[in-house]
Amino acid sequence: MAERAKAESKLAALRAEIEDHPAGADQQWLDAVFPILVRAPCIGRVLTRPRPNASPFVSVGSSVTPDAVVCLIQSCGIFHEVVAGGEGEIATCFVEDGAEVTLFQALYKITRPPRQARSTWFDFWWC
């Protein structure tokens, strides 16, 4: 019984530590150290709009999903769709409409969405 009480007290301490941990600090660190960058898959001219007089695919502050088209790159008369590749919000746009880009040049920076409160493996394991 003493071992069980010891284990329960350790579990309670771990739960309190997890709940008190600020989730925003980890998100800021991840965005600074491992940013989600949308890069050009080929060389060409960036088109941020589907048509010249249409609104852009995305703008700063837009929410994107991993498969959302963020721009087009025209190369040798072929239009290549560029997808976000990550979920979050557009934080920075590094190129303007009609600009020439090189291979793997950064086009957009995406910030990660806020971490959702979720149950831990302790809750499932201890049941």
Tens of pLDDT, residue by residue over 65-83, are 999 999 999 999 999 999 9
Give CA–CA dist 119/40, Å, rounded: 38
Identify whether residues 50 and 85 lie together within a single domain.
Answer: yes
Tokens of 24: 């925003």
Identify whether residues 39 and 66 lie together within a single domain.
Answer: yes
Asked whether residue 30 is assigned to any structural domain, the reply reads yes
User: Mind listing the pLDDT tens digit for each residue in 17-71?
Assistant: 666 665 555 677 777 778 899 999 999 999 999 999 999 999 999 999 999 999 9
By CB neighbour count within 10 A (0-12 exposed, 13-18 middle, 19+ buried), where does 64 fall?
buried
Give CA–CA dist 90/84, Å, rounded: 9
Asked whether residue 118 is assigned to any structural domain, the reply reads no
Tokens of 22: 């600020």
* Residue 84 confidence (pLDDT) above 70: yes
CATH number at residue 81: 2.40.50.100
Identify whether residues 29 and 40 lie together within a single domain.
Answer: no
Give CA–CA dist 122/11, Å, rounded: 8
Give CA–CA dist 43/75, Å, rounded: 7
Give CA–CA dist 15/117, Å, rounded: 13
Identify whether residues 24 and 40 lie together within a single domain.
Answer: no
> The whole model's pTM is what?
0.70
**Residue ranges making up the domain that contains 15:** 1-34
Query: Amino acid letter at 89?
Result: E
